[in-house]
Chain A
Amino acid sequence: MTKETSKTDEGNEFNYSLALEELQEILNDLESDQVDIDELAKKVERANELLQQCQKRLTSTQMQVEKIIEVLNED
């Protein structure tokens, strides 16, 4: 595991904002023109992984929120 992955995967809890931070770092690296082609695939793969996790969290949060709103509306 690289240092970057450990930042968000450390512990069991997925942290959305840490994941976003890491994504931003990856974007900064990519935009800096200094990215090594050997690293590129690794970085894009990590970014994809983070994006998927974020999307998953967003979807589950949305479902939770909708469920709560439904309960609130019933009251």
Chain B
Amino acid sequence: MSSGHEIPSFSVLQLGNFLKDGLNNLFPQDFWIEGQISNFRIVPKSGHAYFDLIDPVSDQGSQPMGKFNVALWNSQRSEIDRTLQNKSDLILANDINVKILAHLDFWPPGGRLQLIMRDVDPQYTFGHLAQEKEKLLQILKIEGLTEKNKLHVIPSPSLNVALITSVGSAAYADFCDELLNSNFSFNVFARDTRMQGEGSAFDIEEGLQIVTSYQPDVIAIIRGGGSTSDLLSFDSESLARAIANSSIPIFTGIGHEIDRSVADIVAHTSYKTPTACAIGLVKTVDEFIEKILGIKTNIINLSHNKISLAQSNHVNLYSRTVTIAKASLFNSNENLKGIKERIALITSSIIKRNENKLHGFEDQIRALDPKRLLARGWSITRTQNGEIISSTKNLFNGDEIETIFENGTVKSTINEVVK
């Protein structure tokens, strides 16, 4: 070792302890630190939990800008869990953002710088999640994705149901029981899917893609209730987009007590439990049957109306026919009677007229009859040749003539012609 710029020299343990003491001096008290949980694990034997607290990353898989190892001793873990559970229905899990109270420590045996977690601020995580969710909802709303799946018309009846859930879970059993009890012939195609934990949102998306190829009437995404952390995958942006853009209407039945998940909001219809979701599906079939029965009743009523209308028309027509037929017969009879009377009248008037004419002739003829003149004192004078004498012109003394009276003839000789 040389004087002046003496270079320190340590054994490993010495450096470790030196560093540990130095850190204790630098951070004598516990402090709050905010970050995102990654790589969370619990060692079963000891019950201690370990995770990485990282600078939040937006993309899965990208390298964080900063990272600390965190140790949470078993002795404190149950209390911290209880705090989180009670105050915000959360548990420590990957991807959630936390604000933890910690002590920075160097552990010489492991050569590891680590934060020893002592407490957690549940409000921070809860607020952060709510904020993230609100931000995502705003984006989806602006893009019209919160309403997009709701535009699909539910086929009536919806009997072909694709189900995305953890097959064998209580949620699955409740859902299937409800459909079975309805006695409708539902055809359920279930896609067994992990419904919580890391990557579950991706699994659900994959399930959606697969069941869509079967062209079901509706897709139901169901799971039973759980903690906020259990249900975090239902607030995932990519799952929300997959649901919104699905060509099939999507029903959700995700057990929750207070808050609706983003998946619920973008789905066609959301229910609070798997059972409620199944009841909703049964209801669509009930409504269909009701509609059919309504149509049937309408057909029956309309038919009855038509028949009674036809019957009343028939009665009406019948009485009109009878009335018209009777009136027509009566008119025809009257008409014939009229014709008969007119013929009789005209005929007798014609005969009368002709009789009068004859009488006229008779009178005229009678007036001209010479016998009537002779009777009144007139006489007719003729020559011997029978020519009627109407002038003295050709008469001479000594001519023989005959004069005809009403009752006889006188023959005489002319003595003198006076001209």
Is B396 an interface position by the 8 A CB rule? no
Residues of B within 8 A of A44 (CB): 343, 347
Query: Are B340 and A51 interface neighbours, CB within 8 A?
Result: yes
Query: Are B347 and A30 interface neighbours, CB within 8 A?
Result: yes
Pick the residue among A40, A47, A62 that contacts B329 (CB under 8 A): A62
Residues of A within 8 A of B343 (CB): 26-27, 30, 44, 47-48, 51
Query: Are A40 and B350 interface neighbours, CB within 8 A?
Result: yes
Say how far A17's CB is from chain B's closest CB, in angstroms.
10
Say how far B176's CB is from chain A's closest CB, in angstroms.
61
Chain A, interface size: which category?
20 to 34
Residues of B within 8 A of A54 (CB): 332, 336
Is B305 an interface position by the 8 A CB rule? no
Is B138 an interface position by the 8 A CB rule? no
Residues of A within 8 A of B326 (CB): 65
Query: Are A30 and B346 interface neighbours, CB within 8 A?
Result: yes
Residues of A within 8 A of B325 (CB): 65, 69
Say how far A67's CB is from chain B's closest CB, in angstroms.
12
Query: Are A30 and B350 interface neighbours, CB within 8 A?
Result: yes
**Cross-chain pair count, CB within 8 angstroms:** 44
Is A1 an interface position by the 8 A CB rule? no
Pick the residue among B336, B340, B347, B350 that contacts A58 (CB under 8 A): B336
Query: Are B339 and A58 interface neighbours, CB within 8 A?
Result: no
Residue ID in chain B nearest A44 by CB atoms? B347
Is B354 an interface position by the 8 A CB rule? yes
Q: Chain B 321-334, CB within 8 Å of chain A: the 1/0 string? A: 01001100100110
Q: Chain A 45-64, CB within 8 Å of chain B: the 1/0 string? A: 00110010011001001100
Per the bound structure, the CA–CA distance linking A30 and B325 in Å amounts to 32
Say how far B352's CB is from chain A's closest CB, in angstroms.
12
Is B342 an interface position by the 8 A CB rule? yes
Query: Are B333 and A58 interface neighbours, CB within 8 A?
Result: yes
Query: Are A40 and B335 interface neighbours, CB within 8 A?
Result: no
Closest 3 CB pairs between A and B?
A: A30-B346, A65-B325, A62-B329
Enumerate chain A interface residues (CB-CB to B < 8 A).
Answer: 16, 20, 23, 26-27, 30-31, 35, 37, 40, 44, 47-48, 51, 54-55, 58, 61-62, 65, 69, 72
Enumerate chain B interface residues (CB-CB to A < 8 A).
Answer: 318, 322, 325-326, 329, 332-333, 335-336, 339-340, 342-343, 346-347, 350-351, 354
Q: Given contacts A27-B343, A48-B343, A58-B332, list 20 more A-B pairs with CB under 8 A.
A: A20-B335, A26-B343, A27-B339, A27-B342, A27-B346, A30-B343, A30-B346, A30-B350, A35-B350, A37-B354, A40-B350, A44-B347, A47-B339, A51-B339, A51-B340, A58-B329, A58-B333, A58-B336, A61-B329, A65-B329
